[in-house]
Structure 1
Amino acid sequence: MKYLRITSIEDPLFRKMHNLMQEVFPPEEVLEYELWKEPLEDPGIRVFVAVHGDDVAGATEYRYYPDWNIAMTDFTIIGRPGLSLGRFLAQNRQNDLNELAKSNGKKLFGMFAEIYDPYKAGDHEFGGVKAMNPFVRREVLSHLGYKRLDFTYVHPSWKNDGEAVTGLDLCFMPDDENVNEIPAQLVVDFLKNYYTVLPNKPSEWLNMVEQLERQESVLLLPL
């Protein structure tokens, strides 16, 4: 299996990845084909696919923020069972991030991720792919070392319609498993940067950020 980066919508692998996304995710969560052009060309956004034979069997998108020495996982797709895709993607992503941190003269502090809370979010079929079931994914991410940030999380809808999206937790995987809290300002800075592209923020999100700005730290709780 190969771990290959995609940087253009002209790459034949991107069409296969986009088709896989349409099979797995609900239509409203899949960015239109043409709208991927700029994100793929952005050097700060890293999109990789797991290529098995001639097929794209999985994919992951993530970012590294050198100023804060942290990362964010945007998504991980497991498209086929029986290939240890979860481990393959996680290990290669971690190796890549470790190299980026090393080139920044540091050791990676940790990585954010938004993780579905299936106990609140209702039914998510994800194309019938069992490995993408949110109950399974939550336990896998817990095994990897993710911890839940201790506040009620909402995020702006990617439709930029001013609606607040619930049913997820903002989580963080510290490189040092003994870390049990992180600076609240780091969370604020990250969230403001990450959602800059969505100018129409819901009031729930703004209130959440204001509350975080009044704190010194945020606890990391078991996932």
Structure 2
Amino acid sequence: MEYTRVTDIADPLFAGLHRLMSEIFPPEEVLAFDLWKEPLQDPGIRVFVAVHDGEVVGATEYRYYAEDDIAMTDFTIIGRPGLGIGPFLANRREADLRRLAHEAGGTLKGMFAEIYDPYQSQEHEFGGVKPMDPFVRREVLAHLGYRRLNLGYVHPSWQGDGEAVGGLDLCFLPYEESASLAGSFIAKFLRTYYSVLEPKPAQWTEMVEALEQRNAVELLPL
């Protein structure tokens, strides 16, 4: 299996990636094909695909924020069972992030991720691919060390319609021992991460403003 970066929507691998995203994720979580042009060219956004026998069978998108020495995993897609795609993507992503942190003079303090909470909603089928089942994914990420932040979480819809999307937890994988994160730290990250997405739903804005007033937000078990 090959771990290959995609930086252009004209790359045939991107067509395979976008098709896989559309098959796996609900529509409100998938950015339109043409709107990927600029994100793919952004050096801070890293989109890699797992290629098996010339076919895109998995993918991950993530970013490293050198100023705060943290990362964000945008998504991880496992398109087929039985190929070891999950460990393959996770190991190579972590190696890449640690290299980026080292080059920036940092050590990588941790990584954010939005994780579906199937105990809130069981509507997501994720294309019928069992490794993508939200119950399975949640337990795997818990084993990796992710913990959920103690807040009611929504994010702006990637369809750009100003709707708030729920049914997820904002989680954090700490690489340093920590029981909580500063609310202002989380709010800064969210404002940066969603800066390009407009309009923002009022529910999201209120959530972020409330975070800015909290000294600490607990990290709880998944």
CA distance in 1 between counterparts of 2:169 and 2:211 reads 15
CA distance in 2 between counterparts of 1:166 and 1:27 reads 14
- Long gaps (5+) in structure 1: none
- The offset of 1:122, in angstroms, is 2.5
Residue number in structure 2 paired with 1:222: 221
- The offset of 1:161, in angstroms, is 2.5
Residue number in structure 2 paired with 1:75: 75
Helix, strand or coil at the partner of 1:120:
coil
CA distance in 2 between counterparts of 1:56 and 1:188 reads 35
- Long gaps (5+) in structure 2: none
Native 8 Å contact 2:29 2:159 kept in 1:
no
Are 2:109 and 1:126 equivalent residues in the alignment?
no
- The offset of 1:31, in angstroms, is 2.2
Native 8 Å contact 2:184 2:213 kept in 1:
no
CA distance in 2 between counterparts of 1:146 and 1:61 reads 17
CA distance in 2 between counterparts of 1:22 and 1:202 reads 24
Native 8 Å contact 1:3 1:51 kept in 2:
yes
CA distance in 1 between counterparts of 2:19 and 2:159 reads 21
TM-score normalized by the length of structure 2: 0.96
Residue number in structure 2 paired with 1:167: 167
Helix, strand or coil at the partner of 1:40:
helix
Native 8 Å contact 2:66 2:106 kept in 1:
no
Residue number in structure 1 paired with 2:195: 196
Native 8 Å contact 1:121 1:166 kept in 2:
no
CA distance in 2 between counterparts of 1:202 and 1:10 reads 32
- The offset of 1:196, in angstroms, is 1.0
CA distance in 2 between counterparts of 1:73 and 1:197 reads 17
Residue number in structure 1 paired with 2:153: 153
Is the alpha carbon distance of 1:34 and 1:159 closer, same or farther for their aligned partners in structure 2, counting shifts above 3 Å? closer
Native 8 Å contact 2:31 2:158 kept in 1:
no
Are 2:59 and 1:59 equivalent residues in the alignment?
yes
Native 8 Å contact 1:148 1:220 kept in 2:
yes
Is the alpha carbon distance of 1:9 and 1:160 closer, same or farther for their aligned partners in structure 2, counting shifts above 3 Å? closer
Instruction: Give the paired residue count.
Output: 222
* Identity across the alignment (%): 63
Residue number in structure 2 paired with 1:184: 183
Native 8 Å contact 1:59 1:78 kept in 2:
yes
Give the letter for the 1:194 counterpart.
Y
Give the letter for the 2:10 counterpart.
E
Is the alpha carbon distance of 1:123 and 1:16 closer, same or farther for their aligned partners in structure 2, counting shifts above 3 Å? same
CA distance in 1 between counterparts of 2:189 and 2:196 reads 13
Residue number in structure 2 paired with 1:10: 10
- Aligned-residue RMSD, C-alpha: 1.2
Detail structure 1 runs of 4+ shifted over 3 Å in the superposition.
none
Is the alpha carbon distance of 1:136 and 1:59 closer, same or farther for their aligned partners in structure 2, counting shifts above 3 Å? same
TM-score normalized by the length of structure 1: 0.95
Deviations 1:143-180 (A, max 9, x none): 1110000111111222232222111100000112x321
CA distance in 2 between counterparts of 1:170 and 1:26 reads 18
CA distance in 1 between counterparts of 2:139 and 2:218 reads 20
- The offset of 1:80, in angstroms, is 0.7
Deviations 1:35-77 (A, max 9, x none): 2111111101000011112111100001111111111111100
